[in-house]
Amino acid sequence: MQHNILTSIRSTKITDGCKATQVYALNSSAGADSPINAGGGESIGDKFFHHLLDRSKQSGRIKPCLVFKGFPDTKLFRRSLRLARQHAVDVHSKIVLASWLRYERREDEFVGSSAMDCCGRNLECPKASLVTGYDPESGFDNCWCFRKDNIIVDNDGGEIECSTSYGDEDDGSGSGDGGCHDMSFCIGDSDIRCNRYSIASLSKPFMAMLYGGFVESRREKVNFSLNGVSVDVMMAVEVFSRTKRLSLFANNVVVEMLSFANRFCCEEMKSACDAHLASLVFDMDDALLLIEYGLEENAYLLVAACLQVFLRELPSSMHSLSVSKLFCSVEGRDRLALVGHVSFSLYCFLSQVAMEEDMKSNTTVMLLERLGECAASGWQKQLAYHQLGVVMLERKEYKDAQQWFEAAVKEGHIYSSVGVARAKYKRGHTYSAYKMINSLISDHKPVGWMYQERALYCIGKEKTMDLVSATELDPTLSFPYKHRAVFLVEESKIEAAISEINKIIGFKISTDCLELRAWFLIAMKDYEGALRDVRAILTLDPNYKMFYGKMQGDRLVELLRPVAQQWNQADCWIQLYDNWSSVDDIGSLAVVHQMLENNPGTSILRFRQSLLLLRLNCQKVAMRSLRLARNHSSSAHERLIYEGWILYDTGHREEAIAKADESISIQRSFEAFFLKAYALADSCLDSESSKNVIDLLEEALRCPSDGLRKGQALNNLGSIYVDCEKLDLAADCYKHALNIKHTRAHQGLARVYHLQNQPKAAYDEMTKLIEKAKNNASAYEKRSEYCDRDMAKGDLSLATQLDPLRTYPYRYRAAGLHLSGSRCLVRPAHSFASGQSGSNTHLLLVLMDDHKEADAIAELSRAINFKPELQLLHLRAAFYDSMGDFVSTVRDCEAALCLDPSHAEMLELCNKAREQVTDGKLTFEEAKRWVRKIILIETEGEVEE
């Protein structure tokens, strides 16, 4: 049976699956392959990227968040969200941004935590979000919920008595206090005794009635029976008029008091009732009960509190019909708008959640329609219309998709022209789609995804050439590799196909590429290799379906297991050691997956899995494994360790150290000491701190553990010794680590030899690492530091081929180009390329040869086009500064500062360049002409002034 199914799989038409991947690359989940970023890109090439970030200051802080949403590094998006929340002023913005932050880290929460639980910081605290006002300095402080000095004082306590301090009865002018009970309101048979002045002080209407020219001002009894006010509410109003307190009243009475306050314009009482009712909202039941009252009575805080629950409970809260109707319908949006709770950021958040939940649902469409209605500025309309186009394309409503993409293009969203082309292609207008992309390439500086997109609309040699160009311009695009691999398979060159797909898997792991390689391996009857890849896929996505979504991945594991080598748990440990020492992270993932299949409750294996996933830059999946490790912990001290790692990985370093200390107080263990040492080392270490880290790592090594973890501890200890200039001790650590097969220690030992002025020994040590490691791009990069320039260039060229995402080689080559064209050099190019420069690094470049300078900028731009990294932007800004192109310098600096707002050197360089632009050396009009010239050069070649 298994043989028949595997034979059928081997005969599958692989090209069909490869084509499907390209068609659906418009989906926002397609990552770097997507030519249309549903997160809100609005530009072509890196120059427009900078323009977008620069303009973001004028458009509110939500715009950078949406820009970074399209970046593979989720930390940038989360940091921009935190910054936006930190600077939020009004309650509405605070609840939206705090809820969005909570949604982004919802999977990081411990089991048993509720959506309304406070994480301890003002930024996300649900109570702090309901406090209006602007205090950015307190954003990252501990909130009142977690402060040890938080003493709650009951200001409403005590028995309420009739005050006798009002003095004589007022003379009617409104200036006196009056007696305690000098009038009454009659409701039915009841008289509610009141203080005239206290009631009059509630609002202007009461003041006019009781002290103005109305008959009530001369009466001790006022008939209130026909106003629909109950006795209980009037009694409560009387008490509030004197005490300004609400704590003694039942909640239903406060609700009626809110209505009373609205009817009679009692603003102070309305605010008090609003705040009191808002404080009662803790969960979905409360919010569903009180939201209608809030909307009907225009209670801003109460509606905010209810909305906060709905937003923090996403996506499950949208399953409630009333919540869905409130957010999705035009009527619901209008009701929210009347209370001041509609914004573009609200519907951005809602539509993002809906798209992640179900891209094709009617809910998603309606939320995006509301987003479009909230859009005011051009970029907001671009985003809304573009996303509607993406969703309609997914729903196969191609005519509507084309219309929405065209609307986005009309608003200036150039990327959406690709959506227009894709929709036309799906409607059968292939040539028209081809012409559109061809025009895009002609009119703008080409980037990789343009050629990839055009390849979809042509065949044969032209298609092949476009995909080659796509890879040259952006080697991180996976589709060209997949297409070439499939083409080789069709020519029966399966080994060459595997070699081609290995190129992308070597630096960018993804389920679709692993699945394609699994197909090839099955075709070669390499079932063990195929099983390895399927297990790696299921580690990344446990619910992954193979072969166009027709077969569950675990079903394929069942089919492959009998025809692959069988390992028991001891064999698995041996395999794990071998893979770990050969730096085969995918192989290690597969082994751990099998070990967990045999023993799913082992938390230490989940932890190892998370470490491997972090190495492969799969942060979200790594966090999931870490949470599972925590949830499967068999003891309190072990659970505290994994909670500490979760806190550390989410930016809470001090809390992580506290968890480690708590774990150590229960039981001394390797992992607890290692966690504390790792967290302490993540800062600028002085001699005392370094000694503490060394002591902690030595304590860890005295505790029981396996060789894999002890190798890492020894490697880390060696690094600390190097920093402390204790090179002999460092060498001993690295050699000890190598004895237990921790292969990465070769790199540390090479560093020691280099510092001991033994370059050949350092080079040889890195050569050993290259020979042992399967993933050795970093080893080639590091070895380049220990050889002459020509050999270094060869190693860095290999490093770029193996992993184009490593940016050091581009920086080195750019600095090398500068060196060859320079007549005066302040510092060695190599140290500058390493990013190890001190302050004022932009002064490095002087008296340049213009041609070489342009080549250096081109080398940096090559990488920036697909990876706008801070160091790349910093170096290019320095080149521009040396050329006197201060407008471009400012552009690159501001883009870099969006990635790291506190970068001191970048701030200094940016401020200097701005002074050059604004102090009369370059007028605003000259700057505009210079920018136009740069764009023309990049798109058409050199032009004369």
Determine the angle formed by the axes of helices 619-631 and 74-86, rounding to 10 degrees. Answer: 80
Q: Indicate whether 590 pLDDT > 50.
A: yes
DSSP secondary structure string, 452-483? HHHHTT--HHHHHHHHHHHHHH-TT-SHHHHH
Nearest to 740 by CA among 714, 717, 713, 711: 711
182-274: in CATH 3.30.710.10:
yes
pTM higher than the cut 0.85: no
687: which 2 tokens? 């001699």
Tens digit of each residue's pLDDT (9 = 90 or more) over 33-58: 545 443 343 333 344 354 444 444 43
Query: Which tokens is 812 given?
Result: 């080195």
**794/781 Cα distance (integer angstroms):** 10
829: its two tokens? 């190019």
Token digits of residue 306:
């209810």
Question: What's the number of CA atoms in the CB half-sphere (13 Å) around residue 155?
Answer: 4
Half-sphere exposure of 311 (CA within 13 A, CB side): 30
- Higher pLDDT among residues 103 and 150, named by residue: 103
Q: At 830, phi and psi to the nearest 5?
A: -65, -45
Query: For 222, left (φ over 0), alpha (ψ -120 to 50), or beta?
Result: beta
Stated as kind and residue range, the H or E segment containing 825 is: strand 822-825
Give me the chain's average pLDDT, please.
83
Q: Which of 174-188, 296-310, 810-824 has the highest mean pLDDT?
A: 296-310
Instruction: State the amino acid at position 784 in one-letter form.
Output: S
Q: Are 636 and 603 within 8 A, CB to CB?
A: no
Which of helix, strand or coil describes residue 118?
coil
**Dihedral sign, CA of 74, 76, 81, 82?**
positive
pLDDT at 112: 59
Alpha-carbon distance 399 to 428, whole Å?
Answer: 11
Q: Beta strands 221-223 and 183-187: pairing type?
A: parallel
Share of the chain above pLDDT 90, in %: 58
Helix (H) or strand (E) holding 221: strand 221-223
Cβ atoms of residues 613 and 622 within 8 Å: yes
**CA-to-CA dists, residue 686 to 367, 695, 699, angstroms:** 53, 14, 20
User: Per-domain residue ranges for the chain?
Assistant: 48-131, 182-274, 806-944
pLDDT at 261: 94
620: number of Cβ within 10 Å: 11
Q: Cis omega (within 30 of 0) on the bond before 315?
A: yes
547 or 920, which is more confident? 547
Calpha distance 600→656 (Å, rounded): 26
Q: What angle do CA 255, 261, 266 make, to 5 degrees?
A: 145
Cβ-contact 861, 817 below 8 angstroms: no
Q: What is the pLDDT of residues 500-536, one digit of tens each?
A: 999 999 999 999 999 999 999 999 999 999 999 999 9
* CB-count exposure of residue 232 (10 Å: 0-12, 13-18, 19+): middle
Mean pLDDT of 611-635: 91
Range name among 105-119, 451-465, 571-585, 861-875 with the lowest pLDDT average? 105-119
- The first and second tokens of residue 35, run together, are 């030519």
Do the domains spanning 182-274 and 806-944 agree at the CATH topology level? no
| 653 closest CA partner among 682, 631, 684 | 682
Q: CB under 8 Å to 367, separation ≥6 — which residues?
A: 327, 328, 347, 350, 351, 354
Quick: pLDDT tens for 449-468.
Answer: 999 999 999 999 999 999 99
Please tell me the distance from the alpha carbon of residue 564 to that of residue 557, in angstroms, as a whole number. 10
Query: What is the CATH code of the structural domain delimited by 806-944?
Result: 1.25.40.10
pLDDT in tens, 735-784: 999 999 999 999 999 999 999 999 999 999 999 999 999 878 999 999 99
> Distance (Å, rounded) from C-alpha 337 to C-alpha 330?
10
Give the pLDDT score at 939: 39
- Find the angle CA(578)-CA(583)-CA(588) to the nearest 5 degrees: 60
Instruction: Read off the tokens for 904.
Output: 């001191």
Which residues, including other chains, have CB under 8 Å from residue 212's CB and lie 6 or more apart?
Answer: none
Q: Please give the C-alpha separations between residue 691 and each of 668, 670, 681, 694, in angstroms, as whole numbers.
A: 19, 18, 10, 5
Query: Which amino acid does the sequence have at 877?
Result: A
